[in-house]
Structure 1
Amino acid sequence: MRRSWLYATHDLSQSKTMWWSRLQSRGLHSSSCLMKKTPAGQRWVLRQLRDPYVKAAHQQNFRCRSAFKLLEIDDKFRLLQPGYSVVDCGAAPGAWSQVAVHRVNSAGTGETGRISGVDRITETEHKTQSDPEVPCGTVVGIDLLHIPPLDGAHFLSCHDVTDPATHAKLLELLPGGQAHVILSDMAPNASGFREMDHERLITMCLSLVDLAAKILRPGGSLLCKYWDGIIAHKLQEKLSSVFGSVQTLKPNSSRKDSAERYFFAKMYRKTVKR
């Protein structure tokens, strides 16, 4: 399979979050871990210890803290509805897919409801009610890395989101070959050069517009992460050319010192080829 040099996965911090959660579950004392770290590693561990979203992700069995970004956005805009078909690009380790599975009922549990109190995440609880009449949705996740299995999701591990072969598999897996929502929290492996990484991520996001032309149904939505920078406007302009509305979002769960932003595009206008 062809591999795109552009497409990687979620940033390294998410993998570290899973690693740290495993340490916590094994009861290892934080100070012993800190002693074995480099100065940069020590700073990272201290930040994780102080991060309420990391703690909440561990308590609520989310695979990483990024789940709360999607929860917060979906609580406000309701882009994920029972019965919807969702494609999660850059899905590893699977936190966004966990949220999508619950909200579109792709596991067929009939549970509805929203995780309440995102601003009070240390006290959040799942408030659900079972309803057999709730329609079942579909969640398909894609990543170059292996994605651990998840009930209610079909994962295309070791697949490139820009590869036509991946597009063909999506058309087979999605009901009617169409998705209601495309999600993307993917990012390139960090090079250490901020402008270069920014441009690479924008290019990756632009490839989602091509994907949308193949699988996104008219009126559908796209939510994609980008890093703010000099060519972010190009992505916004491209999205505006095929979506009726494009908004810039910065969830509260996104770290304040991060250049991370999200474009939420809705009301997709499918172009007709002539």
Structure 2
Amino acid sequence: MKPPIEGGRGLSTRLRTAKGRTTASQKWLERQLNDPYVRAARAAGWRSRAAFKIIELDEKYSLFKPGQRVVDLGAAPGGWTQVAVQRVGGAGKVVGLDLLPMDEIVGATLLQGDFEDVAVEQEVLRVLDGPADLVLSDMAPNTTGHNATDHLRILGLIDLALDFASKVLVPGGGFVAKAFQGGTERDLLNRMKRDFASVKHAKPPASRKGSAEMYVVAQGFRGGSR
């Protein structure tokens, strides 16, 4: 997918400093207003600019296929779930799961709960009516500003998401998770290479240039079906 193209003369929008608004929130608002992916997401009806990240990863790795069963972990506000619904089509099944409530997405089943809960896991499999073909995770921990701590936190989330994926994936299935620069650490990476035929790291164009964000894409699950 080509990045959204902005028309005009490349002018940026600046906000007047509002009383009570911090410098950080001021910069965040200006970045949102001047982000072509944010505007393109609104125009296309995506709930977040993150939709373009999974679209770009799909175009590179062919993640989605018609009729697939897909689970989106940490799905709120629902951008990745929307893309999954569109790409698997009416014959597919998509479950969006989050601790937070989400507004309805036509074509998807939205569940509120913790994916580590066995009852939630069983409900996901019930809704899918079988094992998943693809598990997605765009989850990220709250950052502390301490790179080593933040890296350990994101690795912990990947590990938990991978545990879930290993329980619900069909043989040959795929797993996509958010990581930070530096990728996954050795033990986790070795585990993924053992369990999947292909493991790659990628930074889609929609990820902000200054962000440490990247994604791990694992395909060809070698485990057995439930």
Question: Which band: TM-score by shorter chain?
Answer: 0.7 to 0.9
Within the alignment, does 1:90 sit opposite 2:74 as a pair?
yes
Give the counterpart letter for 1:163 in structure 2: D
Query: Which residue does the alignment assign to 2:125?
Result: 171
Cα pair distance change 1:31/1:260, threshold 3 Å: closer
Give the counterpart letter for 2:59 in structure 1: D
Q: 1:196-220, CA deviations, whole angstroms, 9 ceiling, x for partnerless residues?
A: 2221111111122221222100000
Task: Tell me how far 1:272 sits from its aligned partner.
Answer: 8.9
% identical equivalent positions: 44
Query: Which residue does the alignment assign to 2:188?
Result: 235
In structure 1, list runs of 5 or more residues that go unmatched: 1-28, 109-135
Task: Report the 3-state secondary structure (helix = DSSP H, G, I; strand = E; otherwise coil) of the residue aligned with 1:93.
Answer: coil
Task: Tell me how far 1:233 sits from its aligned partner.
Answer: 3.1
Which has the higher relative contact order, 1 or 2, with Cα contacts under 8 A spaced 6 or more apart?
1
Task: Tell me how far 1:268 sits from its aligned partner.
Answer: 0.3
> TM-score under structure 2 normalisation?
0.88
Give the counterpart letter for 2:128 in structure 1: L
Task: Report the 3-state secondary structure (helix = DSSP H, G, I; strand = E; otherwise coil) of the residue aligned with 2:149.
Answer: helix
Give the counterpart letter for 2:202 in structure 1: L
Aligned-residue CA RMSD in angstroms? 2.0
Aligned positions of 1:1-274 closer than 5 A: 31=15, 34-36=17-19, 37-105=21-89, 108=90, 136-157=91-112, 159-175=113-129, 177-229=130-182, 232-270=185-223
Task: Tell me how far 1:164 sits from its aligned partner.
Answer: 1.1
In structure 2, list runs of 5 or more residues that go unmatched: 1-12
Q: Distance in 1 between matches of 2:47 and 2:224?
A: 37
Cα pair distance change 1:219/1:258, threshold 3 Å: same
Does the CA contact (< 8 Å) of 1:199 and 1:231 recur in 2? no
Task: Tell me how far 1:194 sits from its aligned partner.
Answer: 2.6
Does the CA contact (< 8 Å) of 2:171 and 2:225 recur in 1? no
Q: 1:8-49, CA deviations, whole angstroms, 9 ceiling, x for partnerless residues?
A: xxxxxxxxxxxxxxxxxxxxx9736x4242111111111112
Give the counterpart letter for 2:100 in structure 1: L
Matched residues, number: 213
Determine which structure has the larger helix proportion and give its number.
1
> TM-score under structure 1 normalisation?
0.73
Task: Tell me how far 1:192 sits from its aligned partner.
Answer: 3.3
Q: 1:114-157, CA deviations, whole angstroms, 9 ceiling, x for partnerless residues?
A: xxxxxxxxxxxxxxxxxxxxxx1000011111111100111112
Cα pair distance change 1:64/1:231, threshold 3 Å: closer
Does the CA contact (< 8 Å) of 1:226 and 1:260 recur in 2? yes
